Amino acid sequence: MEQVSANRSHGGTQGVYTHQSTATGTAMTFSVFVPDHAPGAKLPVLWYLSGLTCTHANVTEKGEFRAACARAGIIFVAPDTSPRGDDVPDDEGYDFGKGAGFYVNATQAPWATHFHMRDYIETELPALIAAEFPADMARQGITGHSMGGHGALTIALRNPGRFRSVSAFAPIVSPMHCQWGEKALTGYLGADENAWREYDACALIEDGARLPDLLVDQGEADNFLHEQLKTGLLVMACRKAGIPATVRMQPGYDHSYYFISSFMAEHVAWHAERLKA
């Protein structure tokens, strides 16, 4: 692991790091904010997964999470959204290929060589965080935006007991039923829709996966709400499964980081309450 940059902020250190990933076969970049803490102390970890076209930098620069994380004593980890590099295949569209890994393990050529973002987020990067940072891996939360909200929900549903808290900003709740998801899942996994279900939050819930509770914020003025995000499907799935879900429709807010940053501190505080020792 190499440090790319380090900056003091809000009584903590914001770092950016790079390392060679065995999961993707490429160099991967991620950011970590570590609040000041007593020597030897271990801090809870909040994962943030970003959306289409984003890197680690979007939330790092625009998410406005550091003050809230410093108050709560929470490490904030922001990975990239896909493998990068000249040898990594890409697509002309913004919603597939580089910047659009959808947090899956691709099985179809040419994507299967590098697009193993599920393994990277679920296994490889957590091991690195545990080894290199003062992280209490028994106290983890996860959140994300849009495609990253899809990632946060599906990773938490597939790994019961790993995350004490789960939230999302404007998540893609059912990739099997929207254009973004259908394109990505077909391209990465093939045409068999049974293989898609483990990457669809609503399908996972239907198949028996559960969360202890859930917080979701969604902007009512989000232009992707009805065609791509389909928040109502998650509301119905949680209600049917008995999952306590607080889904807040926020009037006037869109899909941007103006929306995310407006509610980030509330999400950090919500996670902090559930990540107490």
Q: Which residues are catalytic?
A: 146, 222, 255
* CA 172 – CA 162 distance, rounded (Å): 22
Closest CA to 73 of 224, 251, 276, 247: 276
* CA 185 – CA 196 distance, rounded (Å): 6
Cβ-proximal residues to 197 (8 Å cutoff; 6+ apart), any chain: 176, 203, 204, 207
* Token representation of residue 128: 């690195």
Closest CA to 156 of 195, 198, 188, 127: 198
User: Partners of 141 in the beta sheet?
Assistant: 46, 165
CA dihedral defined by 264, 73, 269, 76, rounded to 10 degrees? 30
CA dihedral defined by 181, 187, 190, 192, rounded to 10 degrees? 20
* CA 233 – CA 167 distance, rounded (Å): 16
Where b means 16+ CB within 10 Å and e means fewer, 254-264 reads bbebebbebbb
Q: Using omega within 30 degrees of 0 as the cis cutoff, is the peptide bond preceding 44 cis? A: no
Hunting for tokens 């898609």 — which residue is that? Answer: 196
